């Protein structure tokens, strides 16, 4: 880790830091020195060849050495041009000095030794000085423009503070140097109300005032730490705090910013008292890169906001990311439900002769970028947030629609099973909901099966049992999902009016490992058959498993071995439509 003691970090004002991170990369001084050496050598040889009477033999022909004078002097001029192009101001002044320094030598040769060969040299020198000046002037113009562009790229136009890009660049640089720092995400409280009631202009004035106060504070060094303030957008700011020794100092610094913010702000002749929430994440303790640090600081900030109250400062903890993910999924679920974006996939179910019998309907949810979020992740969130009935309903509706189409011409007699969460099942209007849905789609209720996890037999009371009976009265079938994972008693299973047992994948996975496991699955199948239940095995992945299941009398198979869950359009193809 780099040296973070206060003495070793040169404190700069925000604008200087901004300039240092956005400045274009400097070309190495050694190239400058090399060009000077090359130039000196070229001049030396120019002089030497001018005065030489020597003759070289080139390809068998005598060539006077003085012929090369022009080559050397051109090379010297090229070095000079490179100096101006690569080193701007320094290059320009150096080249002017070098070019002018040649004049006395040339003039002496002309006037003292009456050598007319120096006339083209003088002329070339004058032309080169003009060319170099033009290049320099043009470079300056382009340079200024580039500087402006770079400044725009790193500055927030409203407040003049550095923007998110600048903030990421600075973090990138500190991370490269392995320098410890704290990123603080800041969000003003109730800013939206000001914007909505007084208008955007007043809101802008407020942001400018706050930005100015914080910039002055950061530049003053009063906080004792080395701070960088940026505005990320709307009422979001971030602070990068460096050269602190312990966490307490981070809190102390934030306290300075809070106090500056809390001072009365006057806008449109009204007094306002603002406050904000702060979320802290530290490099390298909390995250190793700037993207992750932003997420951590934001997670802490959101938690501070959720906790409510005026000024809340919270430090990131790993648990917060879980909450953050949970809330993100909940938000995504709500949006998807609102816009009919819960997708249904269908996984084929076969009998042991590999004849298609039906499908299990499975919910799919995509995030904003189109990536699938696993049901193992979003189903529990939907359950906790009280949204599972809507998810089930959406899948049921799509499954019923599919079923009515796929069985329409009487060629197919396929069945669909759909998962129903226990919470959904226990809702008072569950039966009405299902009835309405099935009537609307016009499907035969007998082709519809609902899957309920085994846990319902363990945790639920008589109410659950009577619910199941009502479903059965409607003509629908019931499957007990994930069978074997709970500990339902045989006597309860006997009372339970199910039609099918689904043996959980975990048993199928190990079934062929040893004889005992195979016997265990065989006995579940026997019990199912004794109780007049059909038995399906799920998660079947190999032909070897299929053979075993055939041998021990399983009725149906669902698994990757014969078919993964597919979008509805593909399920139509599987059904021969």
Q: Rule CB under 6 A: which residues touch ligand C2E?
A: 347, 362-363, 374-376, 379, 388, 391-392, 395, 419-421, 451, 481-482, 538-541, 558-560, 565
- Residue 50's CB is within 10 A of a number of other CB atoms, namely 19
Residue placing its CB nearer to ligand C2E in the complex, 36 or 566: 566
From the list Ca ion, ligand C2E, none, partner contacted by residue 388 (C-beta under 5 to 8 A by kind)? ligand C2E
Tell me if residue 206 falls in helix, strand or coil. helix
**51 or 423: CB nearest ligand C2E:** 423
**Minimum Å distance from CB 228 to Ca ion?**
53
Q: Which is nearer to Ca ion, 195 or 421 (CB)?
A: 421
Three-state DSSP class for 135?
helix
- The C-alpha angle with vertex 300 and arms to 295 and 303, in degrees rounded to 5, equals 120
Nearer to ligand C2E by C-beta: 204 or 401? Answer: 401
Whether the CB-CB separation of 467 and 430 falls below 8 Å is answered with yes
Stretch that binds Ca ion, among 118-126, 266-274, 474-482, 559-567 (CB under 5 A): 474-482
Is the Cβ of residue 371 or residue 374 nearer to ligand C2E in the bound state? 374
**Cβ of residue 453: shortest distance to ligand C2E, in angstroms?**
7
Q: How far apart are CA 301 and CA 327, in angstroms?
A: 14
Residue 509 makes contact with Ca ion by CB under 5 A = no
Closest CA to 190 of 265, 256, 137, 105: 265
Binding status of residue 389 toward Ca ion by CB under 5 A: no
Tell me how far, at minimum, the Cβ of 378 lies from ligand C2E, in Å: 8
C-alpha 92, offset from chain centre: 46
Q: Is 482 in the site for Ca ion (CB under 5 A)?
A: yes
Does 284 sit behind a cis peptide bond, omega within 30 degrees of 0 on the bond before it?
yes
Task: Kindly tell me which of 235 and 451 has the beta carbon lying closer to Ca ion.
Answer: 451
User: Count of H helices and E strands in the chain?
Assistant: 21, 19
CA angle in degrees (0–180, nearest 5) for 253-232-220: 35
Task: Specify whether the CB–CB gap between 351 and 357 falls below 8 A.
Answer: yes
Q: What is the DSSP letter of 486?
A: S
Q: Which is nearer to ligand C2E, 197 or 374 (CB)?
A: 374
Q: How far is the CB of 499 from Ca ion (least distance, A)?
A: 14
Q: Residue 265 or 561: which CB sits closer to ligand C2E?
A: 561
Specify the residue, 260 or 541, whose C-beta has the smaller distance to ligand C2E: 541
Task: Supply 349's token pair.
Answer: 């179910």
CA distance 42 to 214: 56
Which helix (H) or strand (E) element contains residue 18? helix 14-22
The region of 126-134, 164-172, 188-196, 449-457 touching Ca ion under the rule CB under 5 A is 449-457
Rounded to a whole number of angstroms, the minimum distance from the CB of residue 473 to ligand C2E is 22
102 binds Ca ion, rule: CB under 5 A = no
Give the one entry of ligand C2E, Ca ion, none that residue 189 binds, where binding means its C-beta sits below a cut-off of 5 to 8 angstroms depending on kind.
Answer: none
Q: Which stretch binds Ca ion (CB under 5 A): 128-136, 146-154, 157-165, 482-490?
A: 482-490
Minimum Å distance from CB 229 to ligand C2E? 45
Nearest approach, Cβ of 509 to ligand C2E (angstroms)? 9
Does the protein bind Ca ion through residue 451 (CB under 5 A)? yes
**Closest approach of Cβ 507 to ligand C2E, in Å?**
12
**Shortest CB 539 distance to ligand C2E, Å:** 4
The neighbour count for residue 118, using CB atoms within 10 Å, is 21
- The piece of 10-18, 170-178, 250-258, 447-455 that touches Ca ion (CB under 5 A) is 447-455
Please answer whether residues 24 and 146 qualify as being in contact, where contact means their C-beta atoms are separated by less than 8 angstroms. yes
Q: What is the Cα–Cα distance from 190 to 192, expressed in whole angstroms? A: 5
Cα–Cα distance between 531 and 525 in angstroms, integer? 10
- Catalogue the E-assigned strands of 9-146: 55-58, 61-64
- Spatial neighbors of 56 by CB under 8 A, at least 6 apart, are 62, 63, 65
Shortest Cβ 409–Ca ion spacing (Å): 28
Residue 267 interacts with, from Ca ion, ligand C2E, none (CB under 5-8 Å by kind):
none
Q: Which is nearer to ligand C2E, 405 or 505 (CB)?
A: 505
Q: Tell the smallest beta-carbon distance from residue 474 to Ca ion (Å).
A: 20
Note whether 499 and 469 are within 8 A (CB): no
Whether the CB-CB separation of 80 and 32 falls below 8 Å is answered with: no
Q: How far apart are CA 205 and CA 185, in angstroms?
A: 21
Q: What is the closest distance, in whole angstroms, from the C-beta atom of residue 350 to ligand C2E in the complex?
A: 12
Q: What's the rounded Cα separation, in Å, for the pair 505 and 500?
A: 15
486 binds, among Ca ion, ligand C2E, none (CB under 5 to 8 A by kind): none
Q: Tell me the C-alpha distance between 266 and 271, whole Å.
A: 5
Q: Are the beta carbons of 161 and 231 closer than 8 angstroms?
A: yes
Q: Which stretch binds Ca ion (CB under 5 A): 196-204, 368-376, 385-393, 444-452?
A: 444-452
C-alpha distances (whole Å) from 569 to each of 3, 59, 213, 341, 396 are 61, 80, 59, 16, 16
Degrees, nearest 5: CA angle 225-227-230 = 165
Q: Classify residue 270 by burial, with Cβ atoms within 10 Å: 0-12, 13-18, 19+.
A: exposed
CB of 380 to Ca ion, least distance (A): 15
Segment contacting Ca ion by CB under 5 A, of 216-224, 255-263, 477-485, 507-515:
477-485
Residue whose CB is less far from ligand C2E, 69 or 421:
421
Which residue, judged by CB position, is nearest to Ca ion in the bound state?
A: 451
Closer of 207 and 503 to ligand C2E (Cβ): 503
Task: Rule CB under 5 A: say whether 419 interacts with Ca ion.
Answer: yes
Instruction: Choose among Ca ion, ligand C2E, none what residue 363 binds, the Cβ cut-off being 5 to 8 Å by kind.
Output: ligand C2E
Contacts with Ca ion by CB under 5 A lie at 419, 451, 481-482
């Amino acid at each position: 880790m780099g040296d973070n003691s206060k003495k070793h970090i040169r404190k700069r004002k925000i604008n200087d830091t901004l300039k240092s991170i956005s400045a274009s990369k400097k070309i190495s001084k050694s190239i400058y020195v090399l060009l000077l050496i090359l130039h000196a050598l070229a001049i030396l040889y120019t002089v030497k060849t001018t005065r030489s009477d020597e003759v070289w033999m080139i390809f068998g022909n005598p060539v006077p050495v003085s012929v090369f004078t022009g080559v050397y002097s051109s090379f010297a001029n090229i070095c000079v041009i490179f100096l101006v192009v690569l080193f701007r101001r320094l290059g320009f002044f150096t080249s002017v000095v070098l070019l002018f320094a040649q004049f006395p030598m040339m003039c002496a040769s002309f006037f003292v030794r009456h050598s007319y060969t120096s006339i083209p040299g003088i002329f070339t020198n004058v032309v080169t000085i003009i060319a170099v000046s033009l290049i320099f002037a043009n470079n300056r113009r382009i340079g200024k423009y580039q500087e402006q562009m770079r400044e725009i790229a790193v500055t927030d136009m409203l407040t003049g503070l550095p923007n998110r890009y600048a903030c990421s660049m600075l973090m990138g640089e500190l991370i490269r140097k392995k320098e410890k720092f704290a990123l603080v995400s800041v969000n003003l409280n109730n800013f939206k109300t000001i914007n909505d009631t007084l208008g955007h202009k007043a809101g802008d004035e407020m942001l400018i005032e706050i930005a100015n106060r914080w910039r002055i504070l950061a530049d003053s060094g009063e906080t004792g730490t080395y701070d960088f303030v940026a505005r990320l957008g709307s009422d979001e700011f971030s602070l990068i705090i460096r050269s602190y020794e312990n966490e307490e100092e981070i809190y102390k610094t934030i306290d300075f910013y809070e106090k500056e913010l809390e001072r009365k702000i006057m806008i449109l002749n009204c007094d306002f008292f603002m406050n904000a929430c702060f979320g802290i994440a530290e490099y390298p303790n909390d995250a190793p890169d700037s993207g992750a640090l932003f997420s951590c600081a934001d997670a802490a900030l959101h938690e501070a906001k959720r906790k409510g109250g005026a000024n809340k400062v919270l430090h990131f903890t790993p648990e917060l990311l879980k909450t953050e993910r949970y809330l993100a999924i909940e938000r995504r679920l709500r949006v998807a439900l609102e816009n009919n974006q819960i997708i249904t996939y269908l996984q084929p179910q076969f009998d042991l002769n590999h004849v298609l019998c039906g499908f299990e309907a499975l919910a799919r949810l995509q995030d904003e970028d189109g990536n699938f979020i696993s049901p193992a992740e979003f189903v529990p969130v939907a359950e906790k947030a009280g949204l599972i009935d809507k998810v089930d309903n959406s899948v049921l509706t799509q499954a019923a629609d599919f079923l009515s189409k796929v069985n329409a011409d009487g060629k197919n007699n396929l069945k669909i099973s759909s998962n129903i969460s226990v919470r959904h099942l226990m809702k008072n209007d569950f039966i009405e909901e299902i009835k309405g849905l099935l009537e609307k789609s016009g499907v035969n209720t007998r082709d519809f099966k609902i899957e309920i996890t085994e846990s319902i037999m363990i945790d639920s009371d008589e109410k659950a049992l009577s619910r199941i009976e009502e479903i059965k009265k409607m003509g629908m079938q019931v499957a007990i999902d994930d069978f074997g994972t709970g500990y339902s008693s045989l006597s309860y299973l006997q009372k339970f009016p199910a039609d099918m047992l689904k043996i959980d994948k975990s048993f199928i996975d190990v079934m062929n490992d040893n004889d005992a496991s195979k016997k265990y699955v065989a006995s579940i199948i026997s019990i199912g058959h004794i109780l007049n239940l059909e038995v399906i095995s799920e998660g079947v992945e190999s032909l070897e498993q299929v053979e075993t299941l055939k041998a021990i009398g399983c009725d149906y198979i669902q698994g990757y071995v014969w078919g993964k869950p597919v979008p509805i359009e593909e399920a139509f193809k599987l059904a021969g439509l």
